[in-house]
Amino acid sequence: MGQGTPDMKTHAMASGLRITLTKTELQALLSLARSGADQLEAARHYSILPKRQEAVAPDIIQGLERGLASVQWKQAEAKARREQPKREAERRAAREHHARIDGYAVWAMLGDWTDISDDPDRRQWADMFHPDTSPREQGEIRRNVWRVFISKGSAALDDLLILSGDCTTTADRDEIEQLARRIIANHQE
């Protein structure tokens, strides 16, 4: 017989037997049932089962198949729930970028941005899909680019300095540093 400890649990009832199987035990039982049904079909004229039992064999196999599919679905759902925080952290990391450049904190967010400034010579970027965003007529729109924020100091020490940021022209992460350095250099002039 098998070498592992069986996890199968049985519970006798007045009209039958309730069985709890592990996924491995269910797969083994399903394979045995299919094999037995195939053998019965091949030796139909030498039937060893009463006709009534032979008639329920396909229903038993179908029930085991549904049970196995249900177990696999529940396992997939449980795995997805366990991995959801990790996937969300990976998605967030893919949409955010943090760096320090020349003492300035640089933070960038990947998204779709629109210019909401009333002054066409000054850009003011806002999240295009935020419910409170009202893009100006003929305002510039940049899709799948980095919105760069730059600050220095601390609000707690009253020396917080926030530079006017901008958006990159592509989704290339290297562009964040180039844009941030240009903004910092323009501020220091």
The reply to whether 184 and 106 lie within a common domain is yes
Identify whether residues 80 and 28 lie together within a single domain.
Answer: yes
Q: Tell me the percentage of the chain whose pLDDT exceeds 90.
A: 8
Each residue's pLDDT tens digit, 24-46: 888 888 888 888 888 777 766 66
Q: What's 92-130 look like in SS3?
A: HHHHEEEEEECCEEEEEEEEEEEECCCCCCCCCEEECCC
One domain for residues 29 and 72: yes
**Do 171 and 150 share a structural domain?**
yes
What does DSSP say about strands 9-13 and 16-20: parallel, antiparallel, or unpaired?
Answer: antiparallel
Q: Which two tokens mark 62?
A: 């179908």
73 and 119 housed in the same domain: no
* Residues of the chain above pLDDT 70, percent: 90
- DSSP-derived 3-state class of residue 132: coil
Cα 15 to Cα 77: distance, rounded to the nearest angstrom: 33
Per-residue confidence (pLDDT) for residue 4, from 0 to 100: 57
CA end-to-end span of the chain, whole Å?
83
- Is the residue at 51 inside a domain? yes
If asked whether residues 48 and 107 sit together in one domain, one would say no
Question: Could you tell me the residue range of the domain that residue 35 belongs to?
Answer: 9-89
pLDDT at 148: 92
Residue closest to 163 by CA, chosen among 139, 180, 146, 140: 180
Q: Is 90 exceeded by the pLDDT of residue 189?
A: no
Instruction: Answer for the pair 106, 185: CB distance below 8 angstroms, yes or no.
Output: no
Q: Domain end: 89, 122, 144, which one?
A: 89
- Whole-structure pTM value: 0.50
Residues 81 and 113 in one domain: no
User: Encoding tokens for residue 182?
Assistant: 């240009």
Residue type present at position 30: L
Structural domains counted in the chain: 2
In a domain, 82, yes or no: yes
Calpha distance 76→82 (Å, rounded): 10
Strand partners, 142: 113
The C-alpha atoms of residue 30 and residue 23 are separated, in whole angstroms, by 10
Q: Assess if residue 97 is contained within a domain.
A: no
Same domain, 63 and 107: no
User: Looking at residue 49, what is its pLDDT?
Assistant: 66
The residue that leads in pLDDT, 137 or 75, is 75
User: Is pLDDT of 95 > 70?
Assistant: yes
Query: Is the same domain home to 26 and 63?
Result: yes
Q: Quick check: is 1 in a domain?
A: no
Mean pLDDT of 58-78: 88
Residue 119 one-letter amino acid: D
The CA distance from 26 to 75, in Å, is 14
In a domain, 138, yes or no: yes
Q: What is the mean pLDDT of the chain?
A: 82
Give residue-wise pLDDT tens across range 145-175: 999 999 988 777 777 888 888 999 888 888 9
The confidence score (pLDDT) of residue 45 equals 63
107 and 183 fall within a common domain:
yes
Last residue of a domain, one of 62, 89, 116: 89
Residue 1 has pLDDT above 50, yes or no: no
Average pLDDT over residues 75-85: 86
Mean pLDDT of 86-113: 84
What's the mean pLDDT in 67-90? 85
Q: Say if residue 112 is in the same domain as residue 184.
A: yes
DSSP 8-state secondary structure symbol assigned to residue 45: G
What pLDDT does residue 175 have?
92
Residue 148 has a CB neighbour count (10 Å cut-off) of 24
In this structure, are 119 and 81 located in the same domain? Answer: no
pLDDT value at 142 more than 60: yes
